[in-house]
């Protein structure tokens, strides 16, 4: 038991990083996700247990989040089967793109939306046999953009998995490769927070065929969690009391205990970070006494929920209470 408790403590420590808590994560190996939002696949393939594969130069995975990302945070994604040198790609091959508006690169030229863009190609290199990449960032359209070439003498290995990380706050954006900071670009103005993620092409520049993306994670000290807390008041007086779930963090199941002081209709439900209903564990009249409910980590349709932060909410006629919990994947 002591060993198990220590493992849970270590898991909780891993789930919180210098860039904040993991708000949600997804392996990108299926077309739907209960935590990360709507996925729109074009000319790519989901590979179970592996990730999303760009199969052509016009392959694109567009992820639409239910609400904008926090004002500071990180996006991390693993990339493998990646080698711009062997494919002799001169310029403008997209890796990762973050946009505040739905129309992707079109927003760069036709609107004042914010964006961060990572490209690669031998055209960004210092010589033969190497390929760098280029970082671009703008808070309000093309007129406020800044850009820089990074790692112009880089070599790449098709058999290696690379971790790309983009971090941002209200004043700047940074890019990391395998944990090493490559560069930081300032934002020249107020940022409109990001809501759309493009992997592969963004309707303007091409994808690298064969590249596989997996393990997408978003970290942050969540503004959206504050919004959800406003929607779901914490610990008001009520006829039933919600206790901390155990274990927490958990994978894949956790037990939620609650106590009913007076006979009441009790609703116990699970919500994701964006306030979307994920599961209903109780919706019935309860006599006074202790109760337990088990959440198996599945959504309303019986699909495994993605890893991330969730909220349990207990509601009676005269109030509601909320507990935060973390599903590990």
Q: Quote the CA–CA distance of 266 and 285 in Å, as a whole number.
A: 6
**What's the CATH architecture for 21-221?**
Sandwich (2.60)
Cβ–Cβ under 8 Å, residues 30 and 45: no
Q: Considering only residues 205 and 268, tell me which one the structure prediction assigns the higher pLDDT.
A: 268
Q: In what order do the strands lie in the sheet with 289-295?
A: 240-242, 254-260, 289-295
Alpha helices in 151-293 (DSSP H): 223-231
Count of CB atoms situated within 10 Å of the CB of 107: 22
Residue-by-residue DSSP string for 140-162: SSGGG-EEEEE-TT----TTSEE
Reported as a pLDDT band with limits 50, 70 and 90, residue 90 is low
Count of CB atoms situated within 10 Å of the CB of 315: 21
Count of CB atoms situated within 10 Å of the CB of 259: 15
**Taking the model in full, what pTM does it have?**
0.68
Q: Considering only residues 44 and 114, tell me which one the structure prediction assigns the higher pLDDT.
A: 44
Paired tokens of 283 = 């919706």
Most confident residue range from 69-83, 94-108, 193-207: 69-83
**CA 212 to chain CA centroid, nearest Å:** 17
Residue ranges per structural domain of the chain: 21-221, 227-327
Calculate mean pLDDT across residues 108-117. 72
Count of CB atoms situated within 10 Å of the CB of 117: 26
Reported as a pLDDT band with limits 50, 70 and 90, residue 83 is confident
With 0-12 / 13-18 / 19 or more C-beta atoms within 10 angstroms meaning exposed / middle / buried, residue 3 is exposed
Task: Report the b/e string of 168-198 with b at 16+ CB within 10 A.
Answer: beeeebbbbbeeeebbebebeeebbbbbbbb
Reported as a pLDDT band with limits 50, 70 and 90, residue 104 is low
The dihedral through the CA atoms of 95, 97, 103, 109 has a sign that is negative
* CATH number corresponding to 227-327: 2.60.40.4070
Q: Quote the CA–CA distance of 78 and 51 in Å, as a whole number.
A: 9
In tens, the pLDDT along 252-297 reads 999 999 998 888 899 999 998 777 789 999 999 999 899 999 999 9
In this structure, of 21-35, 222-236, 241-255, the range with the lowest mean pLDDT score is 222-236
């Amino acid at each position: 038991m002591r060993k198990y408790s220590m493992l849970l403590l270590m898991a909780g420590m891993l789930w919180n990083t210098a860039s904040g808590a993991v708000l949600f994560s997804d392996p990108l190996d299926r077309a739907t996700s209960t935590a990360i939002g709507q996925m729109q696949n074009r000319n790519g393939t989901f590979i179970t247990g592996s990730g999303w594969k760009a199969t052509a130069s016009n392959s694109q995975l567009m992820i639409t989040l239910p609400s904008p990302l926090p004002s500071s945070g990180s996006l991390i994604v693993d990339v493998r089967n990646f080698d711009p040198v062997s494919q002799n790609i001169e310029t403008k091959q997209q890796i990762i793109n973050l946009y505040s508006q739905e129309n992707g690169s079109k927003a760069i030229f036709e609107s004042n939306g914010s964006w961060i863009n990572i490209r690669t190609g031998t055209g960004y290199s210092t010589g033969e046999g190497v390929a760098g990449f280029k970082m671009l960032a703008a808070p309000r359209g093309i007129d406020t953009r800044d850009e820089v070439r990074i790692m112009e003498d880089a070599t790449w290995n098709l058999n290696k998995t690379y971790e790309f990380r983009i971090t941002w706050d209200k004043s700047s954006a940074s890019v990391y490769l395998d944990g090493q900071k490559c560069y930081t670009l300032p934002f020249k103005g107020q940022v409109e927070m990001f809501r759309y993620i493009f992997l592969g092409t963004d309707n303007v520049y091409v994808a690298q065929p064969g590249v596989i993306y997996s393990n997408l994670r978003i970290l942050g000290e969540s503004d959206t969690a504050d919004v959800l807390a406003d929607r779901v008041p914490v610990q008001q007086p009520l006829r039933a009391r919600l206790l901390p779930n155990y274990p927490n963090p958990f994978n894949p199941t956790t037990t939620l205990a609650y106590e009913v002081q007076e006979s009441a209709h009790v609703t116990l439900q699970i919500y994701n970070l964006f306030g979307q209903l994920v599961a209903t564990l109780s919706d019935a009249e309860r006599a006074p006494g202790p109760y337990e409910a088990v959440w198996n980590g599945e959504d309303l349709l019986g699909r495994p929920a993605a890893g991330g932060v969730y909220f349990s909410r207990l509601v009676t006629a005269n109030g509601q209470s909320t507990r935060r919990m973390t599903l590990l994947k």
